[in-house]
Amino acid sequence: MTGFRFTVARNNGPHAFRNHHRLRHVLAAIALLLCAALTGCGSAPVRGVSSRGSEAFTRDTVRLASSQMRELKQIQERTHSAMIADIMKDGVITAQEMNDLQRQQMDCYAAEGYDILYDDDLTATVIPRDANGEGETEAVARKCDTNQGFADVYNVYFEALRNPDARDMTKATIQCLIDNGLVDKTYSKADYERDSKNRTGPYTPDPETGGVNDQVYTCGRDPLGNLE
């Protein structure tokens, strides 16, 4: 899991456009790592989950830190979602609540004539069943995604899962790089920001795959080891 994103694909051709959802606060660091430092972001094998047959992606219950609760409150105020309001009552997001929100999104797309496929990092590909319906895709995305809030709530859920104590994940990532011998002990936040932005140092891409060292990837995605 790397946080929710979706792509809209033509049903008979290349991708029409890509819409990356906002990854706010500490997720900005992981977005920088995964999507700037790595190529092939979202290239995991498709799981074949669509609006015609769902599979649970979330199996854990997470308790939200105060900063994560504030994020959820902002999402609820924007979407006016009764489902999100219910989630907020106890400061906990259950797997069932996430799956219910996902099902609501999938049903919305299905009603508008779209299939939605999720891959292993929860990148969602939205495919219009009618080739002539592609022009309305952005409006449908606003209705079924932005206005319902699943993507934003999933990002809060994912962050609570990997960072339950709301720690500074930039510091955690740097410490992970140091602990695994990928950088020396003098490696600083400025070094990290420079290297992850410019794809230098530990973020130098492999000439064959275009990606980075597997451990570098893991340090960015899960520096605290909570997703294993």
List, as one string, the DSSP characters of 117-168.
EEETT-EEEEEESSGGGGGGHHHHHIIIIITT-HHHHHHHHHHHHH-TT---
Coil, helix or strand at residue 49: strand
- 108: left (phi > 0), else alpha (psi -120 to 50), else beta? alpha
Q: Which helix (H) or strand (E) holds 19?
A: strand 15-19
Task: Write the CA distances from 68 to 20, 63, 198, integer angstroms.
Answer: 20, 9, 30
Which residue would you say has higher pLDDT here, 42 or 176? 176
Domain spans of the chain, in order of start? 5-18+44-162, 169-221
What is the rounded radius of gyration, in angstroms, for the C-alpha atoms of the chain? 18
Sign of the torsion formed by the C-alpha atoms of 223, 159, 96 and 18: negative
pLDDT at residue 131 in the model: 64
pLDDT at residue 13 in the model: 29
Beta bridge partners of 200: none
In tens, the pLDDT along 159-207 reads: 999 999 999 999 999 999 999 999 999 999 999 999 999 999 999 998 8
Q: CB-based contacts of 118: which residues, under 8 Å, 6+ apart?
A: 46, 47, 49, 57, 124, 125
What pTM did the predictor assign?
A: 0.69
